[in-house]
Structure 1
Amino acid sequence: MSQFKDLKFWHDSEALECVTRTPEAPNVVTFSFRSPSGALFNHDPGQFVTLELPVPGGPLYRTYTISSSPSRPTSLTVTVKAQDGSLGTRWMLDHLHKGMKIKAIGPAGRFSIVSHPAPKYLFISAGSGITPMVAMTTWLYDSGLEPDIVFVNAAKRPSEIILRQPMEMMASRIVGIDLKWVVEEPDPFSPWTGYRGMLNQVMLGLMAPDYLDREVFCCGPEPFMRAVREALEALGFDMAHYHQESFSAAPEDAEEVPADSFPDADVGVEVVFAASGKTAHCAQTDTLLSVARGAAVPVAVGCSMGLCGTCKVRKIEGDVHMVHNGGITDDDVVEGFILACCSKPLGRVVLDL
């Protein structure tokens, strides 16, 4: 056991080195990374990282779920899908190869069974939303205990089911992983005997008759997740046991810090960027991210919705009104950090930028 004598865990101050790239489906690739120093990776299954991509005119920050499990800590993988018009992911598919190093921020996020343990799970996903479900399933599979998971994934065609092979491998090795694939249409010249059509209430009832007793995790495009929520609500499901991962979270679902002061558009304030030696004037209703951009002060940003944590900066002085979607922890707030994308100055504010 000498190799575990002096454990060292990766921190995002160290770049990641790409070690493999594996095609998964059309326009989908899994990238595996290692720590050049040999450090291990420690994160909750279902969390994400934000990659700094050196695109022309960049850098560009894009957030991706970690598709590997922390139970396999020697590498970290992300499985990415290039959508029509995508810039960052397209760059990765075309230019990111073995041996290249790339900066990452994180891990972050609260979408994990670690935060919501339960005896039985129902994982529902569509497209690349399958990645956190694979990570959480792998973590349970590696635990050595028999899980109870109904795993539902919807795709356009069978050939577009992402990470199908590793999921079917795990399901074939233990009892307790019940796979349910749903496709809109079969591939030409390839018979399909699974579910076909759009996921609906009838299918959910057939797939998981005891769905009322399960902790539900859902990830996919917003229209898909909305349909799942509406279906579960119509079936009488207790939505306190429903959790979803979305990078377009609604503002009304955000967490408010603090709750006793609100910005006023008629009040002007001063924002000082201490490291840059710049000062800007703005209204209380302007976000610190927009003020920084107006002052030509660079700030890394990913989702711009208070979810990914990429724009976390240290506040040296002053008070802000911050409305976020889980991209910052209570400990970070105590230490003086804020998210620039969703923080508005209530008075003079000094930032370590």
Structure 2
Amino acid sequence: MNSVPASTEPAASRLAATASWDAEADDALVCLAVRDETHDVKTFVLAPSGPRLFAYAPGQFLAFAFEIGAETIHRCYTISSAPTRPHALSITVKRVPGGPVSNWLHDTLKPGDTVRALGPMGDFSCFTHPAQKYLLLSGGSGVTPMMAMARTFHDLGGNRDVAFVHSARSPADIVFRGELETMARLDPAFRFHAVCEADAPDEAWAGPKGRLTLETLSAAVPDLPEREVFVCGPKPYMDAVRAMLREAGFDMARHHEESFDFGALPEAEQQAAAEAGRTLDAESSAEAEAAPAAVRTFRVEFAKTRRVLDCPEDSTVLDAARKAGIRLPSSCAKGLCGTCKSKVTKGTVSMTHAGGIRQREIDAGMALLCCSKPTSDLVVER
């Protein structure tokens, strides 16, 4: 007997789902709802077109391929919902000035629209580091994986000791504020603390003001040394937290951070990351020149731009292009996000990816240039 009575109501149909969503078989997700979280942050609720269940660990993300104008733009966004509610999932996106994807999502995506996604993926999760006590630290948009973890523990009960400390610009910028305060009110084992840099136009902040300091953190979480710590936010925030924990003598083996949240990075920061990659490339190149080795070199031709370069067999195509001054779309450089996905029309590559490409795309000749090394001369459709 079915656990859910037969019904023509779409919600009942979704609740009757027994099969899991498989992005390899169907990568389409339908937008069910759009919700305002703050003045510049929205949550997008997504589900498969047919009844399917999502399975993921809190803290994981999806890699999206958005069709914006005549271009396909790849971005990764952390799932902000909890896997305890598997019939739909959510991503929560801050509008970034000049950001092509965040602005398109805020201005264009509406219920009934479809987007394409791959995943879930990533190993930043409380599930991979079980503990009795957790500290979730987030700054700005870094709140999303922490919210997924907090929601999961709240749904499952069990009196899990969780302290959540979030840093925001002002009270008006505290994403999920109402829900987090409600969770803290309902669950004595869950504590929520916010730190704001300044007041909001319509609210003077009564809590800790300024940026997070070790003194503020220790006051909010006196048993800090006993906790498993998860951190996500802009790089300066994560650097500051790391320094605080070391100053406090914290066991850094119990510190875990989302080190490259490329879906949320403003483009200026993405460019900075690319420049850092070029610096590392230069260092690696210098080391290679100092170490004699017989390395084969292959010719790589970019068909659309008619650019040609030489790529050593021990270098990825993306790295070789950067050294040659050729700018290619890229973001994570880890084989996750799909930004550098390209058609190889001639030749072969050795590719070690981390989930950012489907098998059917590989079979069709696609490759992620950030993790593909040539095994012959290549022609790339770029």
Instruction: Pick the TM interval, shorter chain.
Output: 0.7 to 0.9
Partner of 1:66: 79
For the aligned residues, what is the CA RMSD? 3.9
TM-fit CA distance, 1:271:
7.2
Taking a change above 3 Å as real, the CA distance of residues 314 and 126 of structure 1, as seen in their structure-2 partners, is same
- Runs of 5+ in structure 2 lacking a partner? 5-14, 263-272, 281-287, 303-307, 323-327
Structure-2 separation of matches of 1:217 and 1:346: 38
Shift of the alpha carbon at 1:312? 7.7
Residue aligning to 1:7: 18
Runs of 5+ consecutive residues of structure 1 not aligned to the other structure: 254-260, 274-279, 294-298
Residues 140-173 of structure 1 show CA distances to partners (whole Å, capped at 9, x for unaligned) of: 1111211111101000010111111221222221
Residue in structure 2 matched with residue 247 of structure 1 by the alignment: 261
Residues 247 and 307 in structure 1, CA contact (< 8 A), matched pair in contact too: no
1:138 is aligned, of 124, 128, 151, to: 151
Offset, 1:118: 1.0
Letter in 1 for 2:57: D
Task: Kindly indicate whether residue 269 of structure 2 is the aligned counterpart of residue 268 of structure 1.
Answer: no
Q: Give how far 1:186 is off.
A: 1.2
Inter-CA distance 89–288: structure 2 relative to 1 (3 Å threshold): same
Shift of 1:223: 0.6
Which structure's CA Rg is the greater one?
A: 2
2:52 maps to which residue?
39
d(CA) in 2 for partners of 1:201 and 1:20? 39
One of 368, 373, 376 as aligned partner of 1:340:
368
Which amino acid in the other structure matches residue 185 of structure 2? S
Cα shift at 1:219: 0.4
Equivalences for residues 190-339 of structure 1 within 5 A: 190-245=203-258, 246-247=260-261, 267-269=296-298, 282-284=310-312, 286-289=315-318, 303-306=331-334, 308-310=336-338, 320=350, 327-328=354-355
Greater Cα offset, 166-175 or 29-38? 166-175
| Aligned-partner residue type, residue 370 of structure 2 | C
Q: Percent identity?
A: 34
Matched, 1:161 2:174: yes
Describe how 1:21-36 pairs up with structure 2 within 5 A.
21-36=34-49
Deviation at 1:82, TM superposition (A): 1.1
Q: Pick from 91, 95, 98 the counterpart of residue 85 of structure 1.
A: 98
Letter in 1 for 2:122: G
> Partners in 2 of 1:307 and 1:206 — Cα distance?
41
- For 2:47 and 2:68, the matched residues in 1 are separated by 22
The answer to whether 1:108 aligns with 2:121 is yes
Partners of 1:172 and 1:88 lie apart in 2 by: 36
- What's the CA shift for 1:290? 7.3
In structure 1, the partner of 2:269 is none
Contact in 2 for aligned 1:156/1:184 (Cα 8 Å): yes
2:196 corresponds to: 183
Q: Equivalents in 2 of 1:94, 1:235: separation in Å?
A: 44
Provide the rounded CA distance (Å) in 1 between the counterparts of 2:124 and 2:377. 32
Preserved CA contact (<8 Å) 2:29 2:46: yes
Task: Pick closer, same or farther for the CA change 1:189–1:291 going to 2, 3 Å.
Answer: closer
Corresponding residue number in structure 2 for 1:52: 65
Tell me the distance in 2 between the aligned counterparts of 1:305 and 1:230: 26
Larger helix percent: 2
- Whether contact under 8 Å (1:62, 1:302) holds in the other structure is no
Deviation at 1:44, TM superposition (A): 0.7
Provide, for residues 87-130 of structure 1, a one-character-per-residue CA deviation record: whole Å limited to 9, x for no partner.
10100000000100111111111110111111111110011110
Shift in Å, 1:237: 1.0
Partner SS, residue 165 of structure 2 = strand
Local SS of the residue matching 1:2: coil
Q: Give the 3-state SS of the residue equivalent to 1:17 in structure 2.
A: strand
Comparing 90-99 and 54-63, the one that deviates more: 54-63
Cα deviation per residue 1:279-307 (whole Å; 9 max; x = unaligned)?
Answer: x97412653357899xxxxx9x7633216
Conserved? CA contact 1:17–1:101, under 8 Å: yes
- Name the SS of the counterpart of 2:126 in structure 1: coil
Return closer, same or farther for 1:313/1:147 CA change in 2, 3 Å cut-off: farther
SS in structure 2 of the partner of residue 16 of structure 1: strand
Q: Letter of the aligned partner of 2:3 in structure 1?
A: S
- In the superposition, the TM-score normalised over structure 2's length comes to 0.74
Task: Compute the displacement of 1:58 (Å).
Answer: 1.3
Q: What's the counterpart of residue 258 of structure 1?
A: none
Q: Aligned letter for 1:177?
A: F
Alpha-carbon offset, residue 349 of structure 1:
8.2
Shift in Å at residue 309 of structure 1?
A: 4.4
Contact 1:47 1:110 in 2 (8 A): yes
Pick closer, same or farther for the CA change 1:15–1:5 going to 2, 3 Å.
closer
After superposing the two structures, state which structure 1 stretch, 155-164 or 301-310, moved more: 301-310
Shift of 1:270: 6.0
